[in-house]
Amino acid sequence: MSSSHPLFYGSIVALITPMDNHGEVNYDELKRLVEYHIAAGTNAIVSVGTTGEAATLSIEENVKTILKTVEFADGRIPVIAGAGANATSEAVTMTKLLNDSGVAGFLSVVPYYNKPTQEGMYQHFKAIAACTELPQILYNVPGRTGSDMKPQTVARLAEIENIVGIKEATGEVERVQQIKSLAGDDFIVLSGDDATGLEAMKAGAQGVISVTNNIAAADMAEMCRLALAGKFDEAEVINQRLMALHLNLFVESNPIPVKWAAYKLGFIKEPVLRLPLTTLSEQAQPKITEALSAAGLL
């Protein structure tokens, strides 16, 4: 892991945002989730990323949820703020609003829907990095954004001092080596794909920003700890037990399945999501129940 940023490694949860029946953020449940992750050994929390329903929270709600997460964490676990947007000006605004909030850094997604060129992506992240001294983690997830940030662009961005890493969610394990060879070994690569996360760590990734971690935090923490220690066979045992979860938590758009799983396990009282996302369909529910059983969680 990077000596300059020892915060970003291991098992990092892409935290769900719990909501009440009216679709308002439930801060009591959020506090409980933070405590769960601290107790389970999670290495860091991403607050209000994709899994946290950033797209349907207002800027004010985004900021408040992140501030509350920092407050509940109380210095015991680093909190990374999801502060991406597909308008550069909005991403800059979010970043500035959280600059003095106590967050450890920012996770910023490739702009979605408007499909910028590689140069556009470069200028977007350069502008965000210029408005903060805190570390930035890039986030490449073509399946959701419609655009793929190429390793060459990542390497250009890695030259900017406070751009320290990337959440790479293509699921293409060879990307890890490509990025490392172009951007340098101290540039942090984190897998954003649970199903291939351990393979990415074998290839040199420093950790996983994980959806599965929401409901299997201790297992994910132990798997990543073993992998970082080079004990891949032991890590694989845990990974295989969780594989049905890694895969089935995406049977419908994330975070639909993981919110239902968190509800099923009693982490949250209601599996409420904001429209246009809806609760997990009845036909998909048995798949999640089976995966939870296979993982030894039910």
Binding-site residues for pyruvate, please? 51, 209
CA pair distance 35, 183, nearest whole angstrom: 35
Nearest CA to 9 among 207, 274, 214, 272?
Answer: 207
Q: Tokens 């419609």 belong to which residue?
A: 146
Binding-site residues, please? 51, 209
Q: What is the pTM of this model?
A: 0.97
In the three-class reduction of DSSP (H, G, I as helix; E, B as strand; rest coil), residue 13 is classed as strand
The answer, yes or no, to whether the previous bond of 111 is cis (omega within 30 of 0) is no
Q: What is the largest CA-CA distance in the chain?
A: 48
Encoded tokens for 294 = 């296979």
Can you list the domains of the chain with their CATH numbers? 10-242 (3.20.20.70)
The predicted-structure confidence for 218-262, as pLDDT tens digits, reads as follows: 999 999 999 999 999 999 999 999 999 999 999 999 999 999 999
Nearest CA to 62 among 48, 44, 72, 50?
Answer: 48
CA pair distance 95, 92, nearest whole angstrom: 5
> Which residues are marked as active site?
139, 167
The predicted-structure confidence for 142-172, as pLDDT tens digits, reads as follows: 999 999 999 999 999 999 999 999 999 999 9
In the three-class reduction of DSSP (H, G, I as helix; E, B as strand; rest coil), residue 50 is classed as coil
Overall residue count recorded for the chain in this entry? 298
